[in-house]
Amino acid sequence: MLEKALSGDRRYWTWIIILLGVIGIGTLMYIRQFNEGLGITGLSRDVTWGFYIAQFTFLVGVAASAVMLVMPYYLHNHKSFGKITILGEFVAVSSVIMCMLFIFVDMGQPFRITNVFLYPTPHSVMFWDTVVLSGYLCLNILIGWITLDAEKKSVAPPRWIKPFVYISIPWAISIHTVTAFLYSGLAARPFWMTAVLAPRFLASAFAAGPALIIVLCLILRRVSNFDAGKDAINKLSVIMTYAMVANVFFVLMEIFTAYYSAIPEHAAHFNYLFFGLGDANSLVPWMWLSSILAIVSLVLLLNPKTRHKENILILACVTVFISLWIDKGMAMVVAGYIPNPLGTVVEYSPTLPELLITIGVYAIGALLITLLYKIALSVKKRAAA
């Protein structure tokens, strides 16, 4: 099946070459970062996690969202999702690999990463995060491969894959819960230490993921003749709507608790994000942009008339994705450090090498999606013929 990724038209190969070029630039930048150290990023003694970990946090959510395609089909028999579960699974594979790459480029000693497995530490949430993410990657590769292979042969998938599919559903929930636990268990960071963080992560995951998948489906309809079907797209957009409502609700809950209790330690981080603290206000425009985009997306999505119009749906998906990318990425991660535990404010903004490495990793993800989708679509085309 892999050979199907090697045949394509001019547009396909042009896209691949562009991606390889971007990956090359990112790799060169990473080599410089590896040799000189993470000092070439904008990170500092006070803000030790930044752009890379922000991408990681956001993408774990996108990876978990595959469950929103698997669950309706396998648990609730919505036949219309049958065609596109593979797209969700491949998004999961690509996202998890990007997550792992972002962790890798963020580490001070990346080649010691096997220490996490050689010296397991069950008391550390990060150990479990590594375990569940690796497991989720294997699950999705296995399930994707077996089901696609069966489709190629025009037979039903073998029965033994069913338990794996069922396991992948709670497993998807677990990867994002565990990632939330990385943050929500730290007494040192009151901005993160909130019980609603895990539900918030899941809600934003199930909004951002389907948003991406809807956009990918619509792109696929343009570049190939694969049609996900109006029913599946509509149902996905409903899932996305409900999830976005839940997410905005959770954010409002956080804002209420911080501001009504008026505890400086809690409110200070929100003040930094929305109003800035003194001269430190680099995230303020981003935060307001994220909030406005969230409202706009809800206005577009809650009304079925606008939700069903494809052009508006695409706009809604893009606004959801960008709003959540800002909110769950940079805003959540960086504001946890500002102000720091001693009350001082030290700002952070990513440097050019950091951005180039990030874009390189995203290009790797895009390449993976391209190759995997090419294989999936070729198989489906063959099987339909």
Partner 1 sequence: MGFDRRKFLKTAGLAALTVAGTPLKSLAQDDSTVIEAVTEVSGLPQEHPITAKRWAMVIDLQKCAEHENIKDCARACHEEHNVPHFDNTKDEIKWIWEEHFEHAFHELENEHLKEKFTHTPVLLLCNHCDNPPCTRVCPTGATWKRDTDGIVMMDWHRCIGCRYCVAACPYGSRSFNWRDPRPHIDKTRPEFPTRMRGVVEKCTFCEERLAKGQIPACVEAAKNDALVFGDLEDPDSKVRQLLKDRFSIRRKSSLGTQPEVYYLV
Interface with partner 1 (CB under 8 A): 36-39, 43-46, 48-49, 103, 106-110, 112-113, 115-121, 123-127, 130, 182, 185-189, 264-265, 336-337, 340-344, 346
- Quick one: 43 or 212, whose CB is closer to partner 1? 43
- Quick one: 189 or 235, whose CB is closer to partner 1? 189
Smallest separation, CB 343 to partner 1 (Å): 4
Fill in the amino acid letter for 242.
Y
- Quick one: 7 or 48, whose CB is closer to partner 1? 48
> At 286, is the secondary structure helix, strand, or coil?
helix
Q: 319: which residues sit within 8 A by CB, 6+ positions away?
A: 293, 294, 296, 297, 300
- Quick one: 81 or 183, whose CB is closer to partner 1? 183
Give residue for tokens 């410089």. Answer: 32
Specify the DSSP class assigned to residue 191: T
- Quick one: 358 or 378, whose CB is closer to partner 1? 358
Phi, psi dihedral angles at 280 (to 5 degrees): -85, 100
- Quick one: 119 or 260, whose CB is closer to partner 1? 119
Cross-strand bridge partners of residue 280: 277
Smallest separation, CB 155 to partner 1 (Å): 18
Smallest separation, CB 332 to partner 1 (Å): 13
Burial class (CB in 10 A: 0-12, 13-18, 19+), 238: middle
Q: 29: which residues sit within 8 A by CB, 6+ positions away?
A: 353, 356, 357, 360
Smallest separation, CB 41 to partner 1 (Å): 8
Smallest separation, CB 116 to partner 1 (Å): 5
Q: Determine if residue 77 is left, alpha or beta; phi over 0 gives left, psi from -120 to 50 gives alpha, anything else beta.
A: left
Torsion of CA 276, 281, 287, 292, to 10 degrees: 90
Smallest separation, CB 236 to partner 1 (Å): 35
Distance CA(270)–CA(255), nearest Å, equals 7
Smallest separation, CB 123 to partner 1 (Å): 6
Distance CA(363)–CA(371), nearest Å, equals 12
Specify the DSSP class assigned to residue 277: B
- Quick one: 48 or 303, whose CB is closer to partner 1? 48
CB 282 within 8 A of CB 347: yes
Smallest separation, CB 128 to partner 1 (Å): 9
- Quick one: 125 or 363, whose CB is closer to partner 1? 125
Q: Which of 208, 220, 236, 211 is nearest to 70 (CA)?
A: 236
Smallest separation, CB 52 to partner 1 (Å): 11
- Quick one: 33 or 168, whose CB is closer to partner 1? 33
How distant, in Å, are the alpha carbons of 190, 293, 363 from that of 46? Answer: 15, 30, 30
Determine the length of the chain: 385
Specify the DSSP class assigned to residue 110: G
